[in-house]
Amino acid sequence: MRVYKELGFGVDDIANWLREKYGVKCQSNHPLGGLVNTSPLAAKAGLGWQGHNGLLITPKFGQRQRIAPIFIQDKIFQFTDNSEHKWLEQFCKNCRKCEKNCPTGAIYSEKKISIENVSGIEQTRTCIDRTKCYPYFNRTLGCSVCVKVCPFSKGETQYNKLKQIYIIYNKGIYASES
């Protein structure tokens, strides 16, 4: 909650600075809620990849970070569509520690459709059953068992180590198939 609060103030400060100093028309989004799912957006921007439980995994912090975007009216940066961390998708398929350890069984084996017929994007999908996660999350003042058990929560050294193992393992598969 402290991080949510500090990041909320921080993202407002940055948006104000962009408006005052550069005249950028923009709107900050508090990290606790909002209109968009920020994990896939952050992945497209090259920060990391969305993990099996829906949270972003980054090399430095694993799932231990919050995200707060700033939406800008005019295109002042080039769009990015980065897949550098896509290997995490396959890693998650073989890991599933978050799903196995979730005390409420809230993490789906496969993403489920949460809303149909959204104008422009047709449907949205979700990784967790909020009716199971949220009440428990509130009762325990922030459960986060899924974050704790994620192997990437141990920091950047662990990220690099697992990436190396993943690459070697997949080369092995490739070699045995060819």
Interaction site with ligand SF4 (CB under 6 A): 51-53, 91-92, 95-98, 102-104, 106-107, 128, 133, 136-137, 143-146, 149-152
**Min CB(118)–ligand SF4 separation in Å:** 23
Handedness of CA 79, 83, 84, 86 (dihedral sign): positive
Closest approach, Cβ 67 to ligand SF4, in A, equals 15
Nearer Cβ to ligand SF4, position 68 or 152? Answer: 152
Q: How far is the CB of 52 from ligand SF4 (least distance, A)?
A: 4
* Burial class of residue 86 in the structure, from the number of CB atoms within 10 Å of its CB (0-12 exposed, 13-18 middle, 19+ buried): exposed
CB of 154 to ligand SF4, least distance (A): 11
**What are the tokens at 147?**
């974050």
Q: Which residue, 75 or 139, has its beta carbon nearer to ligand SF4?
A: 139
Euclidean distance between CA atoms 39 and 37, whole angstroms: 6
Query: How is residue 172 written in tokens?
Result: 């092995």
For ligand SF4, give the closer residue by CB, 69 or 91. Answer: 91
In terms of CB distance, is 11 or 106 closer to ligand SF4?
106
Question: Given the complex with ligand SF4, which of 29 and 58 has the nearer CB atom?
Answer: 58
CA 151, CA 90: separation in Å to the nearest integer?
A: 14
d(CA 50, CA 172): 26
CB of 80 to ligand SF4, least distance (A): 23
- Angle at which helix 156-177 crosses helix 87-95, to 10 degrees, equals 90
